[in-house]
């Protein structure tokens, strides 16, 4: 989380590929090392170092992505990025248990294979010269009917990404044991999160078609408002069936939020630094979500209380975002 802010200052088109290559390899090394760690403090240290290397990986990848995209292709690159990592998370949810059952050698081989493929693809890729035009310097506008790019939406994107991780991380952490308490098998327990992440991936990709709804208040308060009501529905009817279908639909909200946060940060101002703040807020939102989620479950005595925390957090964030957008629009009118 902290290192993401530092990396945001250091990254540029010239060093992004080298840092991405190194961080990919280091993530693989620490990931494999964590499988061997048997003592708590050793495991915590290794996971901390894995987090540091992951901050370099995610930040450098997005800088590399922008630098390789043609001007005007940012919307496509962000959509592909959202699709790729979301689909990876979806299959991670459904395969992690099987990999664990198959044993340590299979887990190590899987990590090594994936890391090796990424390194090979990066080495084979011919990087653009840093002097050529790219999406990293270009401000991408929509169609003539779209709203103009507004830097205030970088701040709105920061609230979006903090909030989506605030509501998503506790679900990924607490849902499996909650389902286990209801004697639901591990495969069935992983299906709601798989469906959620898969829809998130698909809607993130579909945002290529909906670029013109960005930089507008109405779409984001409608999508986030419906998301808050959806969490309320699971809180009131916390059955497996309701949870499965509502979480699947909430993938639309998550795909929209992640896409917007990355697009806004990548289309205004100091892009690498903006993304560094994005990634730091992912960590902060995850910690805050798990803290408040567990606290409320203990305080209320009900595991389903986690959904109420998600709903309230989403409403509060949405109100703040609407106020920021309104303030930004008033400033634009005054300066005309």
Closest CA relative to residue 326, chosen from 81, 152, 205: 152
Each residue's pLDDT tens digit, 236-265: 999 999 999 999 999 999 999 999 999 999
Q: What CATH number has the domain bearing residue 284?
A: 1.20.1250.20
pLDDT at 334 over 60: no
Burial of 335 (0-12, 13-18, 19+ CB in 10 A): exposed
Could you give the number of structural domains in the chain? Answer: 1
Q: Does 67 have pLDDT greater than 70?
A: yes
Residue bearing the bigger pLDDT, 246 or 328: 246
Per-residue tokens: 9: 């200052």
Q: What is residue 10's predicted lDDT score, i.e. its pLDDT?
A: 82
| pLDDT for residue 322 is more than 90 | yes
Q: Which of these, 319, 329, 293, lies nearest to 225 by C-alpha position?
A: 319
pLDDT of 98 reads 83
Separation between Cα atoms, residue 93 and residue 4, nearest integer Å: 25
Residue 112 class from Cβ within 10 Å (0-12 exposed, 13-18 middle, 19+ buried)? middle
What's the CA gap between 74 and 67, in Å, rounded? 10
Report the chain's mean pLDDT, rounded to a whole number.
90
pLDDT digits (tens, 9 = 90+) for 106-130: 999 999 999 999 999 999 988 887 7
Per the structure, the complete domain to which residue 135 belongs is given by: 2-335
pLDDT of residue 330: 67
pLDDT confidence of 144, banded at 50, 70, 90? confident
Q: Half-sphere exposure of residue 173, counting CA atoms within 13 Å on the CB side?
A: 18
CB neighbours of residue 288 within 10 Å: 18
Radius of gyration of the chain, Cα coordinates, nearest whole angstrom: 20
Residue 331 has pLDDT above 80, yes or no: no
Q: How many CB atoms lie within 10 A of CB 185?
A: 11
The helix (run of H) or strand (run of E) holding residue 48 is helix 40-68
pLDDT tens per residue, range 165-222: 999 999 999 998 888 888 888 888 889 999 999 999 999 999 999 999 999 989 989 9
């Amino acid at each position: 989380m902290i290192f993401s802010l530092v990396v945001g200052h250091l990254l540029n088109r010239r060093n992004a590929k080298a840092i991405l290559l190194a961080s990919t390899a280091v993530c693989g090394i620490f990931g494999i090392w964590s499988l061997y760690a048997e003592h708590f403090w050793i495991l915590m240290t290794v996971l901390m170092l894995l987090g540091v290397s992951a901050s370099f990986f995610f930040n450098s990848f997005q800088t590399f992505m922008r630098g390789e995209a043609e001007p005007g292709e940012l919307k496509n690159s962000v959509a592909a990025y959202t699709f790729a990592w979301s689909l990876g998370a979806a299959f991670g949810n459904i395969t992690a248990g099987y990999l664990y059952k198959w044993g340590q050698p299979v887990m190590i081989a899987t990590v090594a294979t994936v890391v090796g493929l990424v390194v090979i693809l990066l080495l084979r890729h011919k990087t653009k010269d840093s002097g050529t035009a790219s999406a990293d310097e270009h401000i991408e506008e929509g169609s003539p009917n779209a709203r103009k790019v507004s830097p205030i939406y970088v701040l709105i994107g920061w609230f979006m990404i903090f909030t989506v991780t605030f509501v998503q991380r506790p679900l990924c952490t607490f849902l499996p044991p909650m389902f286990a308490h209801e004697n639901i098998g591990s495969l069935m327990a992983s299906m709601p999160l798989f469906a959620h992440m898969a829809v998130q991936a698909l809607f993130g990709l579909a945002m290529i078609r909906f670029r013109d709804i960005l930089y507008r208040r109405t779409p984001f308060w409608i999508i986030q408002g419906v998301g808050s009501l959806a969490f309320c529905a699971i809180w009131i009817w916390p059955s497996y069936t309701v949870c499965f279908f509502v979480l699947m639909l909430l993938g639309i909200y998550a795909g929209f939020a992640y896409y917007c946060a990355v697009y806004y940060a990548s289309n205004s101002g100091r892009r690498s630094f903006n993304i560094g703040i994005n990634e730091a807020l992912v960590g902060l939102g995850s910690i805050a979500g798990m803290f408040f989620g567990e606290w409320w479950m203990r305080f209320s005595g009900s595991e389903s209380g986690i959904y109420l925390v998600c709903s309230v957090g989403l409403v509060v964030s949405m109100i703040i975002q609407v106020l920021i957008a309104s303030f930004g629009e008033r400033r634009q009118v005054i300066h005309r």
